[in-house]
């Protein structure tokens, strides 16, 4: 039944496939099916021109579609990468990294390389040189959970 529908649609079958893929991209966003959908539509455009040619067999059409899909995916990847959208909040969900450069006073002394500071409403475990309670420190790095500090 499917073969009969494709045979009746002729070169328009590629257009239908391309539109279905574009609709699936809208329903399941991921910016990948769009490039394959574009390749199907381009194959359909070639099919409209070459449909009567003896060399334009279904095998050739699938090879052209595969090549166009690969080329479209590579071009699409380059386009997406070149956009370079800059975030207005580059440290969103990276709170430790947003604290680099800030200074604080030690709440607990740094002994054997570990201590605690309070920044805003959070007490952070810090790593750095041994220092007494009340010493001013500057945050130099974050590993996600702990902060690295040096004497300010």
Q: Which residue has the higher pLDDT, 110 or 31?
A: 110
Q: What pLDDT shows up at residue 84?
A: 67
CA 93 to mean position of chain CA atoms? 16
Q: What gap in Å lies between CA 6 and CA 115, rounded to an integer?
A: 71
- Residue 2 — very low, low, confident or very high, per pLDDT cuts 50/70/90? low
Euclidean distance between CA atoms 110 and 147, whole angstroms? 12
Q: What pLDDT is recorded for position 116?
A: 94
Angle at 33 (CA atoms; ends 63, 40), nearest 5 degrees: 35
What is the domain partition of the chain in residue ranges? 2-83, 95-151
Statement: residue 22 has pLDDT above 80: yes
What CATH architecture is 95-151?
Beta Barrel (2.40)
Predicted pLDDT of residue 85? 66
- pLDDT 10s digits, 70-91: 999 999 888 878 876 677 777 7
Q: CB within 8 A of 13, min separation 6: which ones?
A: 5, 6, 44
Strands 136-142 and 103-111, bridge-based pairing? antiparallel
Q: Length of the chain, please?
A: 152
């Amino acid at each position: 039944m499917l073969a009969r529908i494709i045979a009746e649609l002729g070169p328009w079958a590629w257009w239908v496939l391309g539109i279905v893929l574009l609709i699936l991209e809208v329903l399941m966003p991921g910016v990948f099916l769009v490039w394959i959908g574009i390749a199907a539509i381009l194959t359909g455009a070639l099919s409209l021109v070459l449909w009567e040619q003896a060399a334009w067999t279904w095998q050739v059409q699938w090879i052209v579609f595969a090549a166009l899909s690969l080329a479209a995916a590579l071009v699409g990847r380059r386009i997406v990468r070149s956009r370079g959208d800059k975030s207005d909040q580059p440290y969103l969900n990276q709170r430790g990294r947003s604290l680099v450069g800030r200074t604080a006073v030690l709440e607990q002394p740094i002994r054997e390389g570990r201590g605690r500071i309070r920044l805003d409403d959070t007490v952070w475990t810090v790593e750095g040189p041994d220092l007494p309670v009340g010493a001013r420190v500057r945050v130099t790095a974050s590993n996600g959970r702990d902060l690295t500090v040096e004497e300010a």
